[in-house]
Amino acid sequence: MKEYTVIRCPEGLNWANVPAISMDELLHPTNANVTAQAQVCYDDAFLYIRLCAKEQNIRAEYNGLLDEVCEDSCLEFFFCPIPGDNRYLNMECNPNGAMYVGMGTGVDNLIRLVFAERTPFVPQIQRTEDGWEVVHAIPYTFIRQFFPEFAPAPGYSIRANFYKCGDLTPDPHYLMWNPVPVAPCASFHQPEYFGKLIFA
């Protein structure tokens, strides 16, 4: 299990001062020439996630609340907010800012969360010279609707994984931070294989 130390946000949320980790594990062998990385930091009210992809052949078709954004170019963050609890939230986002938000313990019991006005937080999307990125500022108030005990502080730890995929892109690809087994089911939705985020 890989580990990552989540630092308190630098003043002004300067991402240049936040360590990055690579999604360098492959679910399937691929030569899509796509790379991705993640950064995480926190403060007293928000968990901040930055996901970046270097990707030339971007697909961004979906805009709706119920669209399968994993078929587009997609960056994803899955996390179990409570130690010892396999329930997780998954947040999947395409370059249009369309999001899939779910909660469950696996793909067979995943519940899609639908909100009247998209989500309580709006992903910040940016196209870059060689790809795209998304930044999430996830309010603790949102997480605590489902996990009231969530209380990040020095020494607190959660399990999480980061993914980059694109089912219907010109170059399908499946990248991740912590590897998940292909058999018996090749799925990102396996919380027992998430890595560990340790708050500093």
Ordered by where they begin, the domains of the chain are 21-180 (2.60.40.1190)
What residue type is 132 in one-letter code? W
- Residue 183 pLDDT greater than 80, yes or no: no
Question: Are the beta carbons of 106 and 195 closer than 8 angstroms?
Answer: no
Residue 151 pLDDT class (50, 70, 90 cuts): very high
Q: What angle do CA 95, 101, 102 make, to 5 degrees?
A: 145
Residue 167 pLDDT: 93
In the three-class reduction of DSSP (H, G, I as helix; E, B as strand; rest coil), residue 165 is classed as: strand
- Residue 147 pLDDT greater than 60, yes or no: yes
Q: Please report, rounded to a whole number, the percentage of residues in the chain having pLDDT higher than 70.
A: 95
Residue 119 pLDDT: 58
pTM over 0.85: yes
Average pLDDT of the chain to the nearest whole number? 93
Residue 29 pLDDT: 73
